[in-house]
Amino acid sequence: MPNPTWTGAVAAHARGGSAAFGGWLRTPSGVLVWRSAERVGDMTLRQAVDRGISALIRVGLAHKTSAPRVTTWPELPLRSGKLVLTLEEDAAAAALAESVLPAPPQFEAAGLEMLEPGHYVAHGSKDYQVWTELGICSCPAFTYGSRPCKHLKAALEAERLVG
């Protein structure tokens, strides 16, 4: 008889100089036996993920799991004792990690300069170009996946209030 498969996930995020991990573990029948989000301080995302994996392994071993399948970030699969870790991204674990981080800084609409309708410069520690009609911004957050970014949100809100 094959070993039942436990499923779980761990993900990490960082903001404001602090990293956090989130994770969960379910029994083969789907019962959630562990859900955690922990702020782990100033460390790399890989270190935060490792901390989360360690926590998940401890919980799995406490429940005497035989072969849980654990999903986390996309990396090469690895083995740790009787726990088989298959690393993938998981939205629920990522949301748990995000939940314990400080809120992202808000961009003040006062930092917006309208160059022409639908085209702004967002002034802050650096200046970024914002095009509301295209729904894009030149900031790194927008470029690397946070869409819409705080600059685009502020520009869209300013247009909504004026229009």
The structure's pTM equals 0.57
CA distances from 65 to 14, 25, 69, 97, 138 (A): 30, 11, 10, 24, 47
Mean pLDDT for the stretch of residues 66-73: 58
Q: What is the pLDDT of residues 138-151, one digit of tens each?
A: 998 888 877 788 89
- Please, what CATH class does the domain formed by 7-99 belong to? alpha beta
For 112-158, the three-class secondary structure string (H helix, E strand, C coil) is EEEEECCEEEECCCCCEEEECCCCEECCHHHHCCCCCCHHHHHHHHH
In the predicted model, what is the mean pLDDT of residues 6-13?
A: 86
Q: What are the domain boundaries of the chain?
A: 7-99, 109-162
With cut-offs at 50, 70 and 90, classify the pLDDT of residue 39. Answer: very high
Q: How confident is the model at residue 29 (pLDDT cuts 50, 70, 90)?
A: confident
58 pLDDT more than 70: yes
